[in-house]
Structure 1
Amino acid sequence: MMSLDCRIPLEKIALIQSDLGLPENFRDCLIPKYPEIFSVKIVNGSEHLNLERWDSTLAVTAREESLDVTILEPESKKPLQRDGNFPGPHAFKMKYAPGFRPNVSYLEEVHKWQKMAFPSPYLSARRIDPVTPQARKRAVAVLHELLSLTMEKRLSSHKLDSFHNEYQLPCKLLLCLVKNHGIFYITNKGARSTVILKDAYDGCHLVVKCPLLQFQDKFVSLIGRPCPNLNNQIAV
């Protein structure tokens, strides 16, 4: 639903199938079960997963679902927050590194950015001028939503970048991620780095685990091994 033409090459879905919790044979066992939603079409010589039915009830981002409407206040009444957070309908949750000390001018820019309205990731990117500030903020929202759809709220940067054309991601993806370090955490520099959604973690632990990860934890505990720990991999 977020892709440019509502279709994605099957080989790219296969690239992140484990991150999405899909079975290895999803092409044959899963897609045919839902012909009213999906179809497989040949585009430019390769198989693409095509969306047959748009569902407006699903066109709500994880960021929007997590908004606490009870604390939304008029912008004029909310002072600058040193942590970069702002209780507005267009704001993202910020989690800066403990040692980060932003100055006033930086916070003012963040505050201005947090207030700025932008198009939904589920609105066709063809309608949006990519050079506008709103389009650049939308790109951050697309990355946020893509990571939110994965089981562990993280993907390697090369996997993210492989969807550049389908989601019109920033040309300088790494620069975009680094610039928004209050939202994304990058484990290492380079093409094989891992991008982690900060607001999905409390320290090194996922705040909410999907049923598949919960089942995995139970299975691991039954065989007498400790649950996987990310302490040596990330420091959000």
Structure 2
Amino acid sequence: MHKTNGGRKPKKKIYHRVHELDRVMELQKKPSVILQLKSIIQSRKSDSLLLRDLEKEVGFVQKWNYMAVIEKYPSIFVVTGGKSDKSPTAVMLSEKAKRTAALEAEARVQMEPFLVKNLRKLLMLSVDCRVPLEKIEMIGNEMGLPCDFKKSLIPKYPQFFSVKDVSGRWYLDLENWDSSLAVTAREERLALEGLLNTSGHPKSAKISKDGNFSGPFAFHLNFPVGFRPNMSYLEEVQRWQKMDFPSPYLNARRVEAADPKARKRAVAVLHELLSLTMEKRLTSAQLDAFHSEYRLPARLLLCLIKHHGIFYITNKGAKSTVILKEAYDGSNLINKCPLLEFRDKFLELMGRREANSCIGASSSVAN
């Protein structure tokens, strides 16, 4: 028998916006243009870009955003040539910007151990310990990989990686499994917070009104302002937080997809994938691309919406983006890798006041 609601319309479900996380994407627009232009200029042998070539690099529409940035920030970009000079108009980095940009090389050196570790973990998460190279390239910027990582990074570590042609498609393969890496960011956080003892059992088991639970299988939840869960919802959350589940690093073929524990494991896989990126976020399209490698939920969007205490979907910016909520304090990324710290330093050339408003959400841009 179907339940009736007395002719009343069902209550419409609301996806509560988190303005601070929407602002992350808004704040990254200008830094993205600045850092992208820096990379384009540095890629030229002359260390300068002819303005007539700008449209070829960024397209007609985006060209005007870049022109505005060049004009607004003479402390970063210097325009040479023009009508009074026979040479064509070009843009280059200012002397101060060049000195600051030179620090990127050291940041890249510091990044390499993180990149190697995260690439290994990315492969270990996958069903066959291999991922198509084009898919890694798709999230390369978000992971902090150099644009030439296939030549500059992979060959340096034959003990960890190999590139293989499988049915006409190039894959990055994991050479050796390392159990010490099969620990998730969630588990590392729990250990740091002292919520696990040496045997891996919870020190306490209390649930609060915000759904957080101090157990070994719990996720950090941050419900949006305006969302007021009732007691039955909190009881359901408590059961879910207590429920054990297989590690994301356990081969997904050994897990029955319909099992509630497998569904919780899928949430853990998404959590770990986002944790492997520099800014703990990926576009919805990027996550979608990894369905087969990581056995992601068939109804991925619904899964993300259901677990809105863990993930946030923002439509600000050019693309829909999934953000790991616990990684942010307001609009500010809590922990930054050396490459993001370098980018913040470069963006300080915008001027202290403007840089402070943007640095909280440093942008992922092409290398």
User: Normalized against structure 2, the TM-score is what?
Assistant: 0.60
* Alpha-carbon distance in 1 for matches of 2:350, 2:327: 28
Deviations 1:66-107 (A, max 9, x none): 0022584443xx2x4110100000000000001110000000
SS state of the match for residue 69, structure 1?
coil
AA of the residue aligned to 2:133: L
Cα displacement string for residues 176-215 of structure 1 (whole angstroms, at most 9, x for unaligned residues):
00000000000029x9410000000011101111111011
Aligned pairs for 1:96-115 (under 5 A) are 96-115=223-242
Q: How big is the shift at 1:220? A: 1.6
Q: Is 2:287 the partner of 1:164? A: no
Change (3 A) 1:230 1:177: farther
Q: Which residue of 1 aligns with 2:33?
A: none
Asked if 1:145 is matched to 2:268, the reply is no
1:132-151: CA deviations, max 9, x gaps?
00000000000000000101
SS in 2 for 1:226: helix
* Equivalent in the alignment of 1:50: 173
> Post-superposition shift, 1:57?
1.1
Q: What residue in structure 2 maps to residue 69 of structure 1?
A: 194
Distance 2:244 2:195 in 1: 19
Which residue of structure 2 lines up, in the alignment, with residue 3 of structure 1? 126
Root-mean-square deviation (CA, aligned residues, Å) is: 1.9
Residues 160 and 82 (structure 1), Cα distance of their counterparts in 2 relative to 1, 3 Å cut: same
Map residues 210-225 of structure 1 onto 2, 5 A cutoff.
210-222=337-349, 224=351
Higher-Rg member (1/2): 2
2 CA distance for matches of 1:33 and 1:24?
A: 15
| Aligned equivalent of 1:25 | 148
Q: How far apart, CA to CA, are the structure 2 residues paired with 1:56 and 1:8?
A: 19
- Structure 2 residue 355 is the aligned partner of structure 1 residue 226: yes
Aligned length: 228
Runs of 4+ in structure 1 off by over 4 angstroms are: none
SS at match of 1:13: helix
Cα deviation for residue 230 of structure 1 reads: 6.2
Whichever structure has more helix as a proportion of its residues is 2
Q: Is the 8 A contact 2:333 2:360 kept in 1?
A: no
The alignment status of 1:155 with 2:282, answered yes or no, reads yes
By relative contact order (CA 8 Å, sep 6+), the higher-ranking structure is 2
TM-score by length of 1: 0.92
In structure 1, runs of 5+ residues without a counterpart are: none
Q: Which runs of 5+ in 2 are unaligned?
A: 1-123, 197-201
